[in-house]
């Protein structure tokens, strides 16, 4: 018996202006350009979707959405660069001890405002990196231990890389688009 299958079109590929990190660079440039590359990649994963699509869950019961990842990454930028590294006295974004998962579960608010806040936090992080030495230290609040700007940049590159993989799967589920 012959099985009938419907041909499946190749998925669309997301593209856009994004610069690969320089393949030959000093440490600061390599870290900075890599983090920028991943920030831009995340933004491309969200491009062209409306607010409802950005808030669409990946696969229930998972609470992962692109909007939630956006909120989470915004909070990470503020928490790591401003609150922990620079010691700025600011409230956490999308987090409380009573509701530590609210970045993913409470998707109220305007998506455009969430993107504006993410852009502002990324810009402040860029300013901190530009003004600091890779050996400069911040203090990790949970342990009181110091960490360097170098370590922080590596951590944020990992944070974005991990969540871009999730974003890629969410995006493909929403409209079939994939990308690098």
8 Å CB contact between 13 and 178 = yes
Count of all residues that appear for the chain in the document: 180
Per-residue pLDDT of the chain (180 residues; tens, 9 = 90+): 444 444 444 445 555 678 889 899 999 999 999 999 999 999 999 999 999 999 998 887 888 999 999 999 999 999 999 999 999 999 988 877 787 777 777 788 889 999 999 999 999 999 999 999 999 999 999 999 999 999 999 999 999 999 999 999 999 999 888 766
8 Å CB contact between 74 and 104 = no
The SS3 of residue 38 is helix
- By C-alpha distance, which of 93, 150, 97 is closest to 118? 93
Whether the bond into 61 is cis, omega within 30 of 0: yes
d(CA 6, CA 159) in angstroms, rounded, equals 38
d(CA 175, CA 6) in angstroms, rounded, equals 18
């Amino acid at each position: 018996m012959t099985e009938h299958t419907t041909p499946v079109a190749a998925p669309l590929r997301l593209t856009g202006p994004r610069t690969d990190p320089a393949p030959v660079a000093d440490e600061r440039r390599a870290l900075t350009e890599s983090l920028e590359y991943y920030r831009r990649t995340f933004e491309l994963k969200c491009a062209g979707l409306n607010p409802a699509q950005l808030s669409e869950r990946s696969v229930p019961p998972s609470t992962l959405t692109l909007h939630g990842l956006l909120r989470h990454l915004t909070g990470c930028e503020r928490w790591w660069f401003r609150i922990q590294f620079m010691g700025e006295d600011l409230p956490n974004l999308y987090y409380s001890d009573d509701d530590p998962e609210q970045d993913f579960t409470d998707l109220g608010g305007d998506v455009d405002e969430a993107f504006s806040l993410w852009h502002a936090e990324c810009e402040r992080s860029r300013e901190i990196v530009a003004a600091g030495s890779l050996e400069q230290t911040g203090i990790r609040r949970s342990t009181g231990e110091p960490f360097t700007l170098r370590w922080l940049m590596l951590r944020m590159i990992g944070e974005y890389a991990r969540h871009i993989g999730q974003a890629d799967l969410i995006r493909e589920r929403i409209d079939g688009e994939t990308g690098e």
